[in-house]
Amino acid sequence: MEDYNKVIESLGVRYIKSKNYVLQQPFGVRNFYDVGNNLYLLHRGVIAFGDEKQIVEEGEMLFVPGGRSTKIYFGDPDSRMISNDDLISNKEKFFRSNNDLDLIGDAEESHSFVSFEAKVFDSVNFFASLDVPAFLISGNSKLANLIIKVIEESMQELPGKERLINIYTENIVVEIIRYILKNKMFVEQLATNSTYFKDPRLIDLFNYIKENIGGDLSNKVLSNVANVSEDYVGQYFKMLTGINPQDYIEYQRMERAVFLLRTTKKSIREIGKEVGYKDTAYFCRRFKMMFGIPAGKMRRRESAMNI
């Protein structure tokens, strides 16, 4: 348990957004994808997920780890399927945002969600590193109440709003980890992470990659940072993390690109160069391959997601 406490203490949690949505028409998303972790609380209606169309009952929660493509159904699980690109471009056709505190949970076919980051040493996406699928959370009224508290704070302009939202979001992350441990889910992955996250050489690599995301991050450079041979550094990194270093670096670069697209007015060419891609066309191809949508549409996503 001490190892898990150390991992939890090392987590940097950042709130991204939250909404209370009312479904306008039933649909399914064949490849739902987000860099943030998403926790859904179903108030009324139907949500299902996965190839087996597992049903989320009213009052239950669905956790979708960031960086993982998932099938999700809102309303009738046999309704038409759309792509993640379609959802982002036409979200107002499928959801209506509720901004009335008194109506939270009352509308037919409604749910709330909170989106957030949870990174170890501010570098590694914790839930993505577990490589776990979306999963159901049931019988946890404390976690459900935390989602409602975040929603309520986000709807009001009160002193201390941002601080309370951050506190509640941190509590959400801890409750999800406690739920995983209590139900003995993904035990092997958690045990592995709790071990490798304490390796100082790996921490040095995480920090170096983060601070030099647009520079030379070849295995030769990484081997010098970790003080291991160039031939061994890839094997070393994969042994401890389950992913080879160049795949990890690309994910970090793309995640940084998403942040810049959402928060700056820099051109796609400038962003590509900033995160280490000299060839803009190649950057755009890799971006679409990873996220399923062009970089330009990702830039418009924030306004589309906040209707």
Task: Determine which helix (DSSP H) or strand (DSSP E) holds 138, and give its type and residue range.
Answer: none
Say what percent of the chain tops pLDDT 70.
94
What structural domains and CATH numbers belong to the chain?
A: 1-190 (2.60.120), 199-297 (1.10.10.60)
Q: What pTM was computed for the model? A: 0.77
Quick one: pLDDT at residue 69?
A: 87
Rounded Cα gap, residues 274 and 16, in angstroms: 23
Identify whether the C-beta of residue 142 lies closer than 8 Å to the C-beta of residue 175. Answer: yes
Quick one: pLDDT at residue 294?
A: 87
Query: CB-based contacts of 99: which residues, under 8 Å, 6+ apart?
Result: 20, 155
Quick one: pLDDT at residue 2?
A: 60
Quick one: pLDDT at residue 263?
A: 85
pLDDT at residue 30 tops 70: yes
Rounded Cα gap, residues 262 and 301, in angstroms: 8
Mean pLDDT of 14-41: 94
User: What are the pLDDT digits (tens) for 245-255?
Assistant: 998 899 889 98
CA angle 158, 159, 165 (to 5 degrees): 80
Helix (H, G, I), strand (E, B) or coil at 96: strand
27: amino acid identity, one letter: F
The backbone region for 280, taken as left when phi is positive above 0, alpha when psi lies in -120 to 50, beta otherwise, is alpha
User: What are the pLDDT digits (tens) for 147-158?
Assistant: 999 999 999 999
Identify whether the C-beta of residue 274 lies closer than 8 Å to the C-beta of residue 281. Answer: no
The structure tokens listed for 1 are: 């348990």
pLDDT at residue 306 tops 50: no
pLDDT at residue 47 tops 50: yes
